[in-house]
Amino acid sequence: MASKSSKINERNSLLKLLRSFTTLPISSLSGLVIWLFIILFYVFVISGIFTIETDYDWLQLLQDDYVKQVILFSFGQAILSALLSVFFGLLFARAFFYQRFIAKPFILKLFSLTFVLPALVVIFGITGIYGHNGWLVKLTALLGISWQPHIYGLTGILIAHLFFNIPLAARMFLQTFQAIPTQQRQLAAQLNLRGWQFIRLIELPYLRQQLLPVFSLIFMLCFTSFAIVLTLGGGPKYTTLEVAIYQAILFEFDLAKAALFALLQALFCCVLFAVGSLWQKSPQALLHSKNLWLAKQSSAVQIWQVFYISCILLFISLPLIHIIFSAFQAESLWQIWQQPQLWQALAYSLTIAPLSAILALFFAIALLLLARRLHYLSYSSLSQAILNSGMLVLAIPVLVISVGLFIRLREMDFSNYHLFALVVLCNGLTAMPFVLQVLNLPMHNNMQYYEKLSQSLAIRGWNRFYLIEWHNLKSPLKYAFALACAISLGDFTAIALFGNQDFSSLPYLLYQQLGSYRSDEGAVTALILLIVCVLIFLLIERIKKDD
């Protein structure tokens, strides 16, 4: 009897769910279509990898020394990068939090800028500082010291990862220091708790809650790092799974090996994404210092903190300064600006970025309309599943998607229009998780606050969006669009697989210039990318300020 009643309840729940779908408004039904499209697209892409006929014994291939080395290095460099980023980021956050100076808002904006900078722009700046002919070599030569750095390999990969992830970790830990109540700080001062005792009893309980989320996020970013490892890896010894996929297709045209690496990458990323989501928290952090009470630091601690802050700022700012300096020092600067390849790549980049952002917005809004409606109807689990489908690109990287598309469509005669559409689609999927994060809360709040009002006044569709929801969504939509543009502009993953001489972008052109040692041309390309990203970043900051 119990089993029969449970089956009846399941059947009734299913009928209720199907009835709910039939009564959804058109705007929410569009989300259902987009959701089904995304699921079918991923099935189409991933199943394409399994269609490769191969003479390989995949189990035997997994025991190959090269494959083992690739897997071990993928995990090893990600663990090391995440550990160093968390360590240095935590030290900087603590020093930055306890020091008071005018330039704090500027430093926070500089750290936020690193999030939207293309990896290849930073790589150009890093090689100019730490490379064989970089500023450090010239400085040591002036001091009479003979020293040759090894920028290509694990060292260069770690430096680039630290550039991006120290600011990210620092901003996340700043939120933790901000969360410590003033009353606890005052009580600790009354009890004369200083130094390690203060850290252990007051700060560490809060920091412990944030250590795993920060580590897991940075580990995931480093594990899926592509452009950095591809450019600074320096050889087979320093190859990750994504780079191995790229090399297997473009250099060896071994689709079977590429398919194996792609499946391994997707499997590892799905597991890491599932584990990391248990601890994941928002990386955004704001520092408000008006109502803070901080105990006075000793002179020795203040000197150390100022010194450490200065070192990290030099580490972050010197590559950017080198880009600007080297671009204006380039020989034949006027001839470089007149090259048609540069303007063609700029045109493609400035077209791909907004179109990808619009696509990401369209997908994200459609999914959110459906998810919030289901949540309002008390189908919370299904609503969360729909939102998670928009995050699939974090679990299945874009390069794996690109490989699946490459295998599925390899018989097609690709034109630049086809390549353009593929890159826009891949870049749009890359930016979609960030758009979902920006729009999720305001769209959910609109549903909670205005749904009954809209029903009572019979306001639906476009009229509801324009008359009721637009006021609260205007700033988040602008912010999400600008952020998606910045992410798409600097993305190198899809264009690396589909790009060619006639179809390029600024990151792809910069990669070609770095690979052929055309440093003067690369300096100009890097400067253009830097300027465009800074302009987009300033737009983002303006939108956040107006919100």
Distances in whole angstroms, Cα of residue 405 to Cα of each of 346, 355, 359, 392, 408: 25, 20, 18, 16, 5
Instruction: Report d(CA 45, CA 62) in Å as an integer.
Output: 23
Residues 6+ apart with CB under 8 A from 461: 25, 26, 27
Q: For the chain, give every domain's residue range.
A: 80-171+199-282+296-322, 335-546
* CATH fold of the domain at 80-171+199-282+296-322: MetI-like fold (1.10.3720)
Residue 41: strand, helix, or coil? helix
Residue 535 makes CB contacts below 8 A (sequence gap 6+) with none
Question: What DSSP designation does 22 have?
Answer: H
| Burial class of 189 by CB neighbour count within 10 A (0 to 12, 13 to 18, 19+) | middle
Phi-psi region of 153 (alpha: psi -120 to 50; beta: other; left: phi over 0): left
Q: Which residue has the tokens 């799905």?
A: 270
Asked whether the beta carbons of 313 and 92 are under 8 A apart, the reply is no
CA distances from 520 to 130, 139, 327, 525 (A): 17, 21, 7, 9
Domain 335-546 has CATH 1.10.3720.10: yes
Using alpha carbons, select from 497, 482, 495 the residue that is nearest to residue 404: 497
Give every CB contact of residue 252 below 8 A, 6+ residues apart in sequence: none
Is there a shared CATH topology between the 80-171+199-282+296-322 domain and the 335-546 domain? Answer: yes
Q: CA angle 506-510-515, nearest 5°?
A: 150
CA–CA gap between residue 383 and residue 539 (Å, rounded): 32
Q: Could you give the CA distance from residue 290 to residue 334 in angstroms, rounded to a whole number? A: 50
**10 Å Cβ neighbour count for 125?**
27
Task: Classify 152 as helix, strand or coil.
Answer: coil
**Exposure letters 413-439 (e unless 16+ CB within 10 A, then b):** eeeeeebbebbbbbbbbbbbbbbbbbb
240 token code pair: 């990750």
Which amino acid does the sequence have at 485?
C
147: left (phi > 0), else alpha (psi -120 to 50), else beta?
beta
User: Looking at residue 516, what DSSP letter applies?
Assistant: T
- Which ranges of 99-199 would DSSP assign to H, the alpha helix? 104-116, 119-130, 135-142, 154-179, 182-190, 195-198
- Which among 60, 59, 225 is positioned nearest to 157, based on CA atoms? 225
The answer for residues whose C-beta is within 8 angstroms of residue 432's C-beta and 6 or more apart is 360, 363, 364, 390, 393, 484
- Distant-in-sequence contacts of 295-303, Cβ < 8 A, 24+ apart: 295/185, 295/188, 295/189, 295/194, 297/98, 301/98, 302/99
Q: Measured between alpha carbons, how far is 437 from 384 in angstroms, rounded to an integer?
A: 13
Locus of tokens 């090894």: 150
**In a structure prediction context, what are the per-residue pLDDT tens digits for the chain, which is 547 residues long?**
445 555 555 455 544 544 544 555 566 677 788 888 888 998 888 888 777 766 666 666 677 788 888 889 999 999 999 999 999 999 999 889 888 888 888 888 888 888 888 888 999 999 989 988 888 888 888 877 777 778 888 999 999 999 999 999 998 888 888 878 877 777 777 777 777 777 777 778 888 888 888 898 899 889 988 889 988 886 778 888 888 888 888 777 777 778 888 888 888 888 887 777 666 554 444 444 446 666 677 778 788 889 999 999 999 999 999 998 888 876 666 777 778 888 888 899 899 999 999 999 999 988 888 888 887 777 777 888 888 888 878 778 888 888 888 888 877 777 788 888 888 999 999 899 888 888 888 888 877 776 677 667 777 767 777 777 777 788 888 888 988 998 888 888 888 878 777 788 888 888 888 877 777 888 888 888 889 888 888 888 887 766 5
Quote the crossing angle between the two packed helices 519-546 and 470-490, to the nearest 10°. 170
Residue that the structure tokens 């200065």 belong to: 310
Q: Which amino acid, one-letter code, is at 72?
A: L
Place of tokens 């699939």: 392
What tokens appear for 403 in the block? 């490989």
Q: For residue 230, what is the DSSP state? A: H
Residue 299 vs residues 97, 99, 122, 308: alpha-carbon distances, Å: 16, 12, 35, 14
> CA 96 to CA 88: how far, in whole Å?
12
- Which of 155, 143, 158, 130 is CA-nearest to residue 314? 130
pLDDT computed for residue 286 by the predictor = 42
DSSP 379-445: -HHHHHHHHHHHTHHHHS-HHHHHHHHHHHTTTS---HHHHHHHHHHHHHHHHHHHHHHHHHHHHHH
Is residue 45 within 8 A of residue 405, CB to CB? The reply is yes
